[in-house]
Structure 1
Amino acid sequence: MNAPALRIEGERLLPRVSAGGLAPSLERKRLQVYATQMALDSILLLSCFAGVATLYFGHLPDAAEMLAGNLLLPIFLTIALHNGTYSLVTLTDWKQAAGRMASAVLIAAVLLTFIAYFVKVSDSFSRMVLLGGVTSSLLVLSATRFVSTRWLRSLWGPSPMNLLVIDAGGPPIRVPHAYRIDAHEHGLEPVLDDPHMLDRFARYLRNMDQVVVNCPPEHRAAWAMVLKGSGVHGEVTSGIVREIGALGVVHREDADVSSILVSTGPLGLRDRVAKRLFDMFVSGLALLALSPVLLTAALLIKLEDGGPVFFRQRRLGQGNRFFRIYKLRSMRVEQSDADGNRSASKDDDRITRIGSFLRKTSLDELPQLINVLQGDMSIVGPRPHALGSQAGNKLFWQVDRRYWQRHCLRPGITGLAQIRGFRGATDKESDLTGRLQADLEYLAGWSIWRDIRIMFATARVVVHDRAF
């Protein structure tokens, strides 16, 4: 893709946005670049050490003579992954790329020297090979950064990110190399009581890395709340922050505009990759292991009334986008509630005999493993709710405006709220409040180890007295 050609200041895009969003995703391409850089750095670093060792010893080095390079490489990669050597800013900025790479190489060399000294193996490798290998690696890897950053800038422009500017009535601003849309022309409003509007808004944000909403002061709070549930880096413009030198704001020098940072994705790139790999591994293994249970349940559902095995329902997912959730059908076909306007209750006349067993044992949730593989859901996360779900006599988002914030991550089959007992019908507003608080706590303190603990803790609450 020639991104700069698509990112023309003031360009008007078609009113109808496709399911894929306004722009193709750059995240997969960035991951490919990171992986390529790591592999190339490893090859070049070892090649530099091999070349220096060959010149120093006068022959092709053996394993012992390559010991310094072999020990340095894993230390370098570990430091590089933590100091941002492979990060957004280093993709198109040569100075940042070379600086962080050099820092990782030098720190690795110092650590290797100290470790070798303390374990008394420093005599096992040549200091000249170490010095020459580090020096030549710095020169060669810096040269590759110089070439790669310029090549990527020719493909993606000066920024390796998709930036969307939404003109929503604020003073005119100019942000170079950004996608732009007019909120009024595209029918976008910060309406928190309309899930369909939020779903439309989410489609515009799809594949965007950063979003800037340019709006008047009286609309900032509403746009900020909408952005908080988007799961992306979101800003609303504000002229006064530059004047007073406020902290926690973004100053875009190339656009001569300042904005207030109101939302960020809860997970960084490495965490998103780790969570997705975890989801794919667990869901794939679970589907394989539980396939006899699914087939048996499907047969019993079919034998009871001859209706469809699966029940599909539209629910709110990541970024407030709609998706179709899969469940084993537990209600009579003619009484299935597509919008979830009525919560299931004890002795509910809509539930079939096999459906009652499936709901009490949570087996009706098993097809959601398919949603996980498709990328609509996660193993662990806030549970997705139907549009008509109510707590007491209010829709969920009417109880607490923070409700939309829980959608900045993929919804989960299980979650922190579920293992704390917040399951089943929401007869009172407090039934939702407890769940929401647990969901927000989960978002604020995510770790892959917490996901694993929640997954195993779920086994204790698979059968529960609030499953109707």
Structure 2
Amino acid sequence: MNTDRIHAQDDAKAPEPVVAPLGEADKEKIKRLAAQLSAQLGDEGVSPVIMTGLIRLVDFSLLALSGLTVQLIYVLPRSGFSFGYLFTILMGSALAVLAFQIADTYQIQSLRSPLRNIPRIIVGWLIAFSAMAVLAFFLKIGASFSRVWFGSWFVTGLATLVIWRHFVAFSIRRWVRDGTMERRAIIVGGGQPAEKLIRSLEKQPENDVRICGIFDDRDNRRSPPIVAGYPKLGNISELVEFARLVRIDMLILTLPLTAEKRVAQLLKKLWVLPVDIRLAAHSSELRFRPRAYSSIGTVQLLDLLDRPITDWDSVAKRAFDIFFSVLGILLLWPIMLGAAIAVKATSRGPIIFTQKRHGFNNETINVHKFRSMYVDQTDQTAIRPVTKDDPRVTPVGRFLRRTSIDELPQFFNVLKGDLSLVGPRPHAVHARSHDRIFNEIVEEYFGRHKVKPGVTGWAQINGWRGEIDSDEKIRQRTAFDLYYIENWSLLFDLKILFLTPINLIKGVNAY
């Protein structure tokens, strides 16, 4: 009897996984599990994409430095400084990195093995030098360069690369052992399919995935409590909470491709998490385009959802945030100083008001503002939103809120890393509309937290700012925020940043 087919049919007919609110006992259990696993896993790891990018940069720098060193020691005392040498050094170093890229020397599996990598490095360096020699011959400029310099650069550059790549190989092997360069994964769905996947991953010599546990809604009869040595930690409801407490990189669904309805139902619940979601496809006979897959050795995974703003995109966005936040503080510090004096001079109490709000991945962060309410009427919970002509707001506070000057201290939140300059606006932890919290109104609400919240955002410049006194307003805000996340780019951020002052002048819905 084909048990796989029976399980596939059962999964296809399985009821929709219900992500019901967790009870206090369930939450405490998940917190204990998350704390135990976090202690074992340690700090957040290093992205392989970032690491290989940095190695390219170091390769280029070392080769250029080798050429410059030989030039300073040998050429400069005899012929003086020449920009021709500098141009050739930079061009040759760039050609070498390009040759190394074509030779696949920047794959993690190659970087871990010097015996596999060094021959490719030698060939790449020879190709770069051959290309420079051919160009010099056809341009008739070979006599302008010292052959001693040319040969010395080849030798010193190659020696430097060999030493550097041995250091890289040693470091990567150590980082793989201690978990610095691993991807942390949760298996969604247990039983025999999960066991097949785990056994296949264990056979891969270049496997960088660390399985942290299994979550499944099915009972122990159909989904055993331990599969291939890994425990079943809970159900789908608990998985959502667990993944918000532990830094998880990937969710791997082990359901068959024939269980389309159940896969879609699970995605509907899990897409709000800032993780990659993959479907185990190694045992399926169905085949899609190669770009639809990612591979761990010979194990193929079907890419369902990717985390937004990762790797170099996250580096670029962080650099964008730091640059424009520092620029904003330098340009607006007189306004910030004036606001601080006005708040202190016109009402008793602190200048800065701090409120707990939802941050990235539902984490709780402290967001700072200039205090705009009377100190004995401030609302830390934001259960009662500020309305037009609200008597709790001071006269100075009314002006600060209308012009959004009260938000300027959030530049320091950006520098700290809690906020981004542009992103979905962070809402207070207990914010609500008509006694209902926002995620009860909009099912996709927590999808806003897949990226860092922002000081300004796409929803705000489209008029969705201020009081949320109707279900439609939070639905529209969420729709605009999700559009921003799905279409993010640095140019999009720059556009929103440019349009924000124009929107503030209009003063729509700000009170």
> What TM-score comes out, normalization by structure 2 length?
0.69
Instruction: Give the superposed CA RMSD.
Output: 4.7
Q: Distance in 1 between matches of 2:366 and 2:36?
A: 18
The worse-fitting range, judged by mean Cα deviation, of 379-388 and 210-219 is: 210-219
1:359 to 390, 401, 413: 401
1:336-347 → structure 2 map (5 Å cutoff): 336-347=378-389
Q: Percent sequence identity over matched residues?
A: 28
How far 1:210 sits from its partner (Å)?
3.8
Q: Distance in 1 between matches of 2:471 and 2:123?
A: 53
Cα pair distance change 1:186/1:259, threshold 3 Å:
same
More helix by share: 2
Contact 1:188 / 1:201 at 8 angstroms: preserved in 2? no
Q: Distance in 1 between matches of 2:487 and 2:363?
A: 23
Q: Deviations for 1:132-155, whole angstroms, at most 9, x for unmatched residues? A: 967985786367435522442134
Partner of 1:267: 309
**1:92 aligned onto 2:106:** no
**1:323 aligned onto 2:365:** yes
Partner of 1:224: 267
**1:178 aligned onto 2:210:** yes
1:250-265 → structure 2 map (5 Å cutoff): 250-253=294-297, 259-265=301-307
Q: Distance in 2 between matches of 1:62 and 1:327?
A: 59
1:232-311 → structure 2 map (5 Å cutoff): 232-235=275-278, 237=280, 242-246=284-288, 248-253=292-297, 259-311=301-353
1:94-243 → structure 2 map (5 Å cutoff): 124-125=144-145, 141=161, 144-145=164-165, 148-157=168-177, 161-167=181-187, 169-171=189-191, 172-173=194-195, 174=198, 175-176=201-202, 178-181=210-213, 190-191=236-237, 201-205=243-247, 208-212=248-252, 220-221=263-264, 224-225=267-268, 227-235=270-278, 237=280, 242-243=284-285
The worse-fitting range, judged by mean Cα deviation, of 65-74 and 350-359 is: 65-74
Partner of 2:33: 15
How far 1:109 sits from its partner (Å)?
6.6
How far 1:51 sits from its partner (Å)?
6.8
Q: Distance in 1 between matches of 2:119 and 2:427?
A: 47
- Larger-gyration structure (1/2): 2
Contact 2:280 / 2:302 at 8 angstroms: preserved in 1? yes
Cα pair distance change 1:421/1:144, threshold 3 Å:
same
Q: List gaps (5 residues or longer) in structure 2.
A: 1-30, 203-208, 217-230
The worse-fitting range, judged by mean Cα deviation, of 387-396 and 163-172 is: 387-396
SS of residue paired to 1:467: coil
Cα pair distance change 1:37/1:381, threshold 3 Å:
same
SS of residue paired to 1:266: coil
Q: Distance in 2 between matches of 1:220 and 1:304?
A: 58
Cα pair distance change 1:322/1:125, threshold 3 Å:
same
Q: Deviations for 1:18-63, whole angstroms, at most 9, x for unmatched residues? A: 89774222328996885466335433455379779999x9x98865
Cα pair distance change 1:403/1:112, threshold 3 Å:
farther
Contact 2:112 / 2:170 at 8 angstroms: preserved in 1? yes
The worse-fitting range, judged by mean Cα deviation, of 107-116 and 42-51 is: 107-116
- What is the letter of the counterpart of residue 212 of structure 2? R
Contact 1:162 / 1:210 at 8 angstroms: preserved in 2? no
Cα pair distance change 1:315/1:50, threshold 3 Å:
closer
Cα pair distance change 1:158/1:334, threshold 3 Å:
closer
Q: Deviations for 1:98-137, whole angstroms, at most 9, x for unmatched residues? A: 6997898688779868987998867755799879967985
> What TM-score comes out, normalization by structure 1 length?
0.74
SS of residue paired to 1:460: helix
SS of residue paired to 1:244: coil
How far 1:94 sits from its partner (Å)?
5.7
SS of residue paired to 1:281: helix
Between the two proteins, the alignment pairs up a number of residues equal to 445
Q: Distance in 2 between matches of 1:307 and 1:158?
A: 49
Q: Distance in 2 between matches of 1:465 and 1:164?
A: 45
Q: List gaps (5 residues or longer) in structure 1.
A: 1-12
Cα pair distance change 1:222/1:363, threshold 3 Å:
farther
